Amino acid sequence: MISESVANMIRYVTSGLLIILILLGSDVWSHEIVGEVTPLMIRIERMLKLIDNGLGNEAMDLAKKTYNEFHDQMRGKEEQGLQRGSLRVDHRFGTDVESMIHISLTQKDPEELQKGLRLLSFLLMLEKFDVLEDTFGNANSKISAQRTIFWLGRNYFSYLLEPVLAKEDPIEEKRLDRQLDKMLYRVEDGEWDEFKLLRKELTASIGEYFNMSQFIILK
């Protein structure tokens, strides 16, 4: 008969292996990521995956470690955490993401944390598209730099939000993916008004699907 201490050890090891498999396992969905994936994006992706797999407590622990600045071993420097990123987009868009994430951690509520992380990802995408639009019509702006900014924005969707759509609504995921392709083409062709129209349609669709429109007035 297995003793209680041995049984507890088995449960602990099994739980640890499950987390590793979830974080390292291959997804049925895979989309090309172009350009930078930041340490914060990687941690948000891990938190969302843990929550999706019923490991809310582990996601909360990682969120607490990521809330303030954290040291990234790969880059060898301090990286911006959830709080600073949330406060920045709150200031830009008039939202309250930082409070949402903080309250979810205080109340130990994985579902609210998930909502806050998805909203933060969405707003970080919009922030990059705002930066991109600021370059439109500027004679000194280079198309290579505009492509880089575009992909920084797109990666927030592709890396953090699109996998959910791919599982729950593949048709909508493909439609929005094509929408983003069209937006890049408009940037490359210098068709600024068409880009802005496509962006408005994209952000409205994402906002509606993830129930984010209640938090932000989309432009």
* pLDDT tens digits for range 81-107: 999 999 999 999 999 999 999 999 999
**Selected residue with higher pLDDT from 152 and 72:** 152
Res 72: pLDDT = 76
* pLDDT at position 4: 54
Closest CA to 159 of 21, 10, 11, 29: 29
- Residue 78 parent element (H or E): strand 77-79
Residue-wise pLDDT tens digits, 173-210: 999 999 999 999 999 999 999 999 999 999 999 999 99
Residue 207: closest CA among 168, 184, 176, 181: 176
- The sign of the CA dihedral 174, 175, 178, 179 is negative
Biggest alpha carbon distance in the chain?
A: 77
Q: How much is the average pLDDT of 19-44?
A: 64
Q: What are phi and psi of 72, to 5 degrees?
A: -100, 120
**What band does 25 get if pLDDT is binned at 50, 70 and 90?**
very low
Query: Among candidates 110, 95, 15, which has minimal Cα distance to 61?
Result: 110
Domain spans of the chain, in order of start: 37-209
What pTM did the predictor assign?
A: 0.83
Say whether pLDDT at 69 is over 70: yes
Whether pLDDT at 37 is above 90: no
Backbone angles phi, psi at 28, to 5 degrees: -70, -20
Q: Would the pLDDT of 140 be above 70?
A: yes
Q: What are the respective helix, strand and coil percentages of the chain, to the nearest 5?
A: 70, 5, 25
Please state, in angstroms and as integers, the Cα–Cα distance from residue 73 to each residue in 7, 35, 96, following that order: 35, 20, 30
Contacts of 163 (CB under 8 A, 6+ apart): 27, 29
